[in-house]
Amino acid sequence: MFGGESIAQLYPEEFISEAKAKFGELEALMRQLREGANSGEESRALVERMLREAHTIKGLASLAGFSTLNKAAHWLETLLGLALDGTLELTGGFLDVVEDFVSVIGSILSSIEESGEEGKVDLSNLTAKIALLKKPQGSAPVFSPLKGRSSRVYRVKVTFDRVPGEIPAWLFSVISRLHGVGEIIEYPKDVDDVLRGLKNPPESFDFKIRTPVDPSKLRDLLMGSDGVRNVEVTGGEEKTPVLVRVHLKEETPLKAARALLILGDLKGLGKVISVNPPEKDLKNGILLDGRAFEVLIETSGDLQRVKDAISAHTGVADVEITKDFEKKTSGSKGEHLRAEKTPEGLEIPAARIGGPVKVSPEMLDRLLGVAEELLLLRDWMKEVANPEELRGISARLDESLSELRKTLLEIRTVSVKSTLEPLVPAVGRLAGELGKEVEVVVEGEDVKVDRGVLGVLLEALVHILKNAVVHGIEPPEERIRKGKARKGTVRVLISQRSEYVEVAVSDDGRGIDLETIRRRAVEKGLVSREKAENLSDEEALNLLFLPGISGESRVSRHAGRGMGLNIVWEAVRRVNGSIVVDTEKDAGTTFILRVPFEVSVLFAYLLNVGGNLYALPSPGVVGEVKVDKSLVRKVGDGYITAIGGEVLPALMLHDLVDFTAFPGEKLAGVILDTGKGKVLLLADGVEGKREIVVKPLRGILPPAFSGGGVYSGVTILGGGRVVPVIDPLRILEVLGYGVGRKP
């Protein structure tokens, strides 16, 4: 249908506006990071948001066929990811390199916008700067060795996927991770040239590293790095750090010279980490208390052998060797010998389809007519005082405003189906790269939505479709073994409801491995092992949308970083929509997105809880109910009641928005279709349904107060009454059907 054309060829304005919107956010976040690089959690939040923007730009570039843009975004994503996991620090040099990559991405986008081509962009200068990050002065590593902990020396062979253009970024990630857990004793040949892109890289690289990390954990750490296909860890000679204190006899001549001779022997028995007094002081004749010195040494040899080697020297009075040296201190001059511990640790605004908007002459005439009508009504209102006339003016004002809004909406609306169809060939190309066969089918109505909503849908669907191909659909041979058709199917169904649009994406793949998701959540420290084992399947599915959770055991250039679905969650939440996921082993996975037709104006139900009003966005609401409190029974942590002969679970909003309010004898509420069944949301009353303008909390409250909770924003009703808007995703989370941030 679309041949080999890319999204950018078919819809250049849409691609450019979407990519530039992401780039604009990236620039703004970079400025904020520069201004507050030492502000702890705020800096981390900025880096997380930058990583999401880079991840989306990389996805767009991949689907659009822009390889250099994809590579630059991938390098940037790699750097930001290493900063998040604590491997790289937010130093000035690091920020300089990050800022350079942001600038290059902007230059590439400008070239694409002007000529349709990426232009000649040489990334080697930037990759050279990256290569230097691991060596501040060209030699010493950024991360000091892990001192004072039992360590071993390993040979590590890392094999990457066969994508030469990506290997330099992947190699840098591996080197940075190795620096973070130990000391690299031996580098692969020509590693700097490979990092700078000056030499064609091999697929495998050999390292020698001294580290206290267990071999299996070391392998898991590296397998989680970008593009790593295999890791072999061999060797493992144990290196035990010990503190050696040597006392020389009072009558020993040339004590300092004797100490230097002993130190020379110790260097042959292991790795000397530090000396007290320092070696330069020993050469100047300085000893502890005039006749002693200490050496912190890593050795795999027999400690008795170490003691014997020292005692063989003339003039040695005593030798103390101990592993318990944490609290030992030295008097007088010299260094304090102590085992050192390695330091641990270190939202996206709405996507939008920008660019020019085509407006027909007829629409301009309608806008001009409405504007003239409003001016006449304004002048009329100044001249009348008769209440009856004012009511007539008010009615005509309503009509004119409705016509104005209708016309503006027509100008801003874009077809969902025609915008999504260009993703079909792009998804097919991605499947081909992975050795898979996939048919993508777009079905349903030709629904039109606001350009801002369409931007959110496009952003979400890029990630969902990508996940369906990478994670869901099996390779042909695996599908045949399971008795399936050789070619997998991804189906996109677009449906128009009365007040929202629903997009369902289904694949007939392997389904989501919930045990893997539970395990990854435990590894990331998001839940305890005990809690993960007790999570229901519905609750485990919620974990998918948390940052860093992926069904892949390793990161590749296509997936595995665990950011895609978190971006989907953020995007849908911004427009007060909802998302539900369902999966079945070997049958496939379905994502259901429900979003309003507009970004800021939407239909909502006004619910009365304890005399206060709360607005609930209408997507997913299928009816209103009234019920006696006596018919609502509490079962476990929830409620149930019967409606029309059907027993349904219920959520008492009093428990969610105001626990001090007590339900009356008569209750009212709405029926919510979760995508997996109906649920009642009960309040004291339903005060009708109306269009509201939503003001996001992030634009009102400081970040510390607006990042979560029950509400997504506020609206203002007549008389200036402020009404909180309930977050639909929070409702689904409480019910166990939707997406949760804190499982």
Give 238-322's CATH code, choosing from 3.30.70.270, 3.40.50.620, 1.20.58.110, 3.30.70.1110. Answer: 3.30.70.1110
HEC secondary structure over 245-274? EEEECCCCCCHHHHHHHHHHHHHHHCEEEE
What pLDDT, on a 0 to 100 scale, did the predictor assign at position 551?
A: 55
Query: With 60 as the cut, is the pLDDT of residue 149 above it?
Result: no
Strand ranges inside 620-727, DSSP E: 621-628, 633-635, 638-643, 646-652, 666-673, 678-683, 685-693, 695-696, 711-717, 721-726
Higher pLDDT, 86 or 497: 497
What pLDDT, on a 0 to 100 scale, did the predictor assign at position 340?
A: 29
What pLDDT, on a 0 to 100 scale, did the predictor assign at position 14?
A: 64
Query: With 90 as the cut, is the pLDDT of residue 507 above it?
Result: yes
Helix (H) / strand (E) element for 580: namely strand 578-584
Residue with tokens 């690091």: 94
What pLDDT, on a 0 to 100 scale, did the predictor assign at position 463?
A: 83
What is the CATH number assigned to the segment(s) 415-512+551-589?
3.30.565.10
What pLDDT, on a 0 to 100 scale, did the predictor assign at position 326?
A: 45
Query: With 60 as the cut, is the pLDDT of residue 214 above it?
Result: yes
Query: With 70 as the cut, is the pLDDT of residue 525 above it?
Result: yes
Residue with tokens 């948001």: 49
Backbone φ, ψ for residue 450 (5° rounding): -60, 145
What pLDDT, on a 0 to 100 scale, did the predictor assign at position 139?
A: 35
Higher pLDDT, 406 or 291: 291
What pLDDT, on a 0 to 100 scale, did the predictor assign at position 636?
A: 79
Q: Where are the domains of the chain?
A: 7-117, 238-322, 415-512+551-589, 601-735
HEC secondary structure over 505-524? EEECCCCCCHHHHHHHHHHC
Query: With 70 as the cut, is the pLDDT of residue 349 above it?
Result: no
Token pair in block for residue 565: 């679905």
CB atoms within 10 A of CB 394: 12
Higher pLDDT, 201 or 349: 201
Provide the CB-side half-sphere exposure for 310 (13 A, CA): 25
What is the CATH number assigned to the segment(s) 601-735?
2.40.50.180
Q: Which of 496-500, 590-594, 720-724 has the lowest mean pLDDT?
A: 496-500
pLDDT in tens, 239-295: 667 889 999 888 887 788 888 888 888 888 878 888 888 888 788 778 887 788 999
Query: With 60 as the cut, is the pLDDT of residue 483 above it?
Result: yes
Amino acid identity, position 234: T
What pLDDT, on a 0 to 100 scale, did the predictor assign at position 438?
A: 92
pLDDT category, 383, cuts 50, 70, 90?
low
Report the percentage of the chain scoring pLDDT > 70.
77
What pLDDT, on a 0 to 100 scale, did the predictor assign at position 613?
A: 92
Amino acid identity, position 476: P
What pLDDT, on a 0 to 100 scale, did the predictor assign at position 411?
A: 72
Higher pLDDT, 185 or 696: 185
Give 7-117's CATH code, choosing from 3.90.340.10, 3.30.360.10, 1.20.120.160, 3.40.50.10490. Answer: 1.20.120.160
Higher pLDDT, 379 or 157: 157
Query: With 90 as the cut, is the pLDDT of residue 508 above it?
Result: yes
Token pair in block for residue 598: 């507009």
Q: Which of 10-19, 148-157, 436-445, 512-521 has the highest mean pLDDT?
A: 436-445
What pLDDT, on a 0 to 100 scale, did the predictor assign at position 358?
A: 58
Q: Which of 45, 48, 40 is nearest to 703 (CA)?
A: 45
The residue-averaged pLDDT of 68-74 equals 83
CA atoms of 497 and 689, how far apart (whole Å):
16
pLDDT in tens, 547-569: 666 655 444 444 544 566 777 87
Q: Which of 335, 309, 333 is nearest to 321 (CA)?
A: 309
Average pLDDT, the chain: 76
Helix ranges, 40-116 (H): 41-64, 67-84, 92-115
**CA distance readout (Å), 715 to 562, 573, 617, 689, 723:** 34, 16, 11, 13, 5
